[in-house]
Structure 1
Amino acid sequence: MSKLGNIGARLYRGEVGYDFIGKRKIWYGISILITITAIVGLAVRGLNMGIEFSGGAVFTAKTSASASQAQHYAESAAGGHQAVVQKLGGGSVRIQISGMDTKQAVPVQEELAKDLNIPVKDVNTQLVGPSWGEEIANKAWLGLGIFMVLVVLYLAIAFEWRMALAALIALIHDLTITVGVYALVGFEVTPGTVIGLLTILGYSLYDTVVVFDSLKEASKDLTKQNRFTYGEIANRSINSTLVRSINTTVVALLPVAGLLFVGGGVLGAGMLNDISLALFVGLAAGAYSSIFIATPLVADLKGREPQMKALAKRVKAKRAAAAAKEASQEDTEDSAPAPADAEDGAAVVGPRHQPASRNRGRGRPSGKRR
């Protein structure tokens, strides 16, 4: 722990660091590849929309039958409708059948009770209309749009429009990857998923704003010096907040991983799966985008300004002059002849020659000059 803290302190002081900005094209390429994979998965497989959005019937019963047996019974009772079965805690199962109304649900409930060998009253039945899910989806899109607009306005006022644009691109990047993972994995999209998606937006922005704030402080009066370019200052800002970002992400991912792998996998809690997967993927993508996407984008956008281009030329010219001066000094030292009396690198020892000014007045009597 002390070693990690020492590394963090050295990163903060700029003594060590990784060139994130210099290798930004690599990160752009990785992000584009992941985003394309997510979009292809979304286009090919599509989202597994939950019954809250598509409408249908939900049957819950306590039984000793396995999930595969319950699915077989449900599809047989529903006359060919596809059934989604989740094993819940306490030996219960949750059976979802889309596109089913009240008249169709009653016979299915009776047939399920018969196949599962339980009373009809022990099979809990809930009907969900598709209009309710459509209303939730519309409100979610509306809330997402308002959130994006407010974020861009705030960042443009608090920082500048380039940072606002970079943060917006990073948010879209995080959402696309998270939705694509849902399509590839096949997890069901429920209102819990929507809640998880809206939650990760705030966390992604938190990491991004921390880096932007450090960059804003470090780039004050940047054009008045000739030592660093804007990209180098941006790189130092990333490194100074890197350990903080890693620690925050790990601390946030640990409980979410518990929800996903323990709560959803071991306990079989369906709603936990919906929320935890969105949080887990979104938190990881948000930490990645704040370091590898948002800040490098700001450096690219700022680097196109005339003032920053002029600064980069001055810094380059100053470093070239310093390198030339150093090379000239090295050549002078190499070409200087060695003392004649020096042997085997030994220093020449002899009488010291005092300056003439120090010998003035010697041999004269003390007192006033005549």
Structure 2
Amino acid sequence: MSRLGNLGARLYRGDVGYDFIGKRKIWYGVSILITITAVLALAVQGLNMGIEFKGGAVFTTPKTTASVEQAKEAAEESSGHPAIVQKLGNGSLRIQISEVDTAKADAIREDLSKDLSVPTEKIGAELVGPSWGAQIANKAWTGLGVFMILVVIYLAIAFEWRMAVAALVALIHDITITVGIYALVGFEVTPGTVIGLLTILGYSLYDTVVVFDSLKESSKDITKQTRWTYSEIANRSINGTLVRSINTTVVALLPVAGLLFIGGGFLGAGMLNDISLSLFVGLAAGAYSSIFIATPLVADLKERDPQMKALKKRVLARRAADAAKAEQGEQGPMADAEPEAAAAGSGIAGQRRQADGRGRGRGGRASGKRR
């Protein structure tokens, strides 16, 4: 068995473990700090919305020798708006300009034809109205709301309402962090980004449900024992599924990292950034929230239950009694050693007194020659 597998088996058995629940205030503080940073980024910088949401035009040229910088300069000079230019795999260019209407799009097309030395009829133009983008945004918000409602209902039925609330908080945490990262780095938000967000919600729930299922199984008939509190059982559930969560997260992050850093970075396929960044950040945030947010929050909510409070008192009382017995057991041998030492001392003294009588004969007479 590998070292990681051996560690996973020891974590599952409870031979070793990290106190995630005991240090939950630290994780709460870190999460709050990250969330505040994400909200500030959204408030200050905002999101770089694509033309699918705010309207604009997309021009596609045939294979050309013009550079990306040359096409960007020509498009911005002609339109008066910032342009996003991407080099496609076949040598063509994709030029995206926001806030452009039909009349202006025709003029821009003519200017691009002259500046890039490309026939006008071979430059494709696609217009996107802002109303269509608004419809996409509304549908995305509606789908997100329906998704979260269904998640809460399902978790409340399959587990309990406390776990449903904790999972909902973890989902909001993951979405906020992911959207905040988009605001910080300035990546464009497209329908692919929305698809990526919906995908990470499912993955985040997967990690959370795995821990919740282990916790539900471990906490059956919990009030009939006095060995563990609910928080301690929750901590054992996290440790028992920790290696599995790490393995699944790493395996999922590797191909997404390839899309983001190799496809979008080295190869210049900027369209991959739309979905890969949301997946990369969301997968990492989902794994984090399932361990450091969702389960500790369930333990906090559960420990407020009167039965769990009574259980905690019984567990602490039993541990205090066991500690007292252990202390008495250590003092017992020391207390018994004192009489034994006293007896040994008296025995030595008796032997000395007996030695004084060795010279006496039978009848108590002193030994010696007869007179």
TM-score (norm 1): 0.89
Counterparts of residues 295-314 of structure 1 (less than 5 Å): 295-314=295-314
3-state SS of paired residue (1:63): coil
- How many residues align? The count is 342
1:31 aligns with 2:34: no
CA displacement, residues 120-166 of structure 1 (integer Å, 9 cap, x when unaligned): 22322111111111111111111111101100000001100000000
Residue in 1 that maps onto 2:18: 18
3-state SS of paired residue (1:337): helix
Residue in 1 that maps onto 2:154: 154
The residue identity in structure 2 corresponding to 1:63 is T
1:3 CA displacement: 1.0
Residue in 2 that maps onto 1:252: 252
CA distance in 1, matches of 2:88, 2:286: 31
CA distance in 2, matches of 1:159, 1:51: 42
1:340 CA displacement: 5.5
CA distance in 1, matches of 2:334, 2:136: 79
3-state SS of paired residue (2:60): strand
Counterparts of residues 1-370 of structure 1 (less than 5 Å): 2-61=2-61, 62-78=63-79, 80-337=80-337
CA distance in 2, matches of 1:68, 1:332: 87
> How well do the aligned residues superpose, as a CA RMSD in angstroms?
1.7
3-state SS of paired residue (1:247): helix
CA distance in 2, matches of 1:290, 1:133: 33
Say which one has the larger Rg.
Answer: 2
Residue in 2 that maps onto 1:357: none
CA distance in 2, matches of 1:323, 1:66: 77
Consecutive unaligned residues in structure 2, runs of 5 or more = 345-371
The residue identity in structure 1 corresponding to 2:25 is K
4+ runs deviating over 4 angstroms? 338-341
The residue identity in structure 1 corresponding to 2:101 is D
The answer to whether the 8 Å contact 1:56/1:97 transfers is yes
1:334 CA displacement: 3.3
CA displacement, residues 270-319 of structure 1 (integer Å, 9 cap, x when unaligned): 33110111111101100000011000000000000111011111111111
3-state SS of paired residue (1:297): helix
CA distance in 2, matches of 1:162, 1:120: 62
CA distance in 1, matches of 2:65, 2:8: 54
3-state SS of paired residue (1:126): strand
Mean CA deviation greater in 328-337 or 122-131: 328-337
Mean CA deviation greater in 226-235 or 130-139: 130-139
1:335 CA displacement: 4.0
1:20 CA displacement: 0.5
Residue in 2 that maps onto 1:353: none
CA distance in 2, matches of 1:87, 1:266: 12
CA distance in 1, matches of 2:190, 2:337: 83
Consecutive unaligned residues in structure 1, runs of 5 or more = 344-370
Instruction: State the percentage of identical aligned residues.
Output: 76
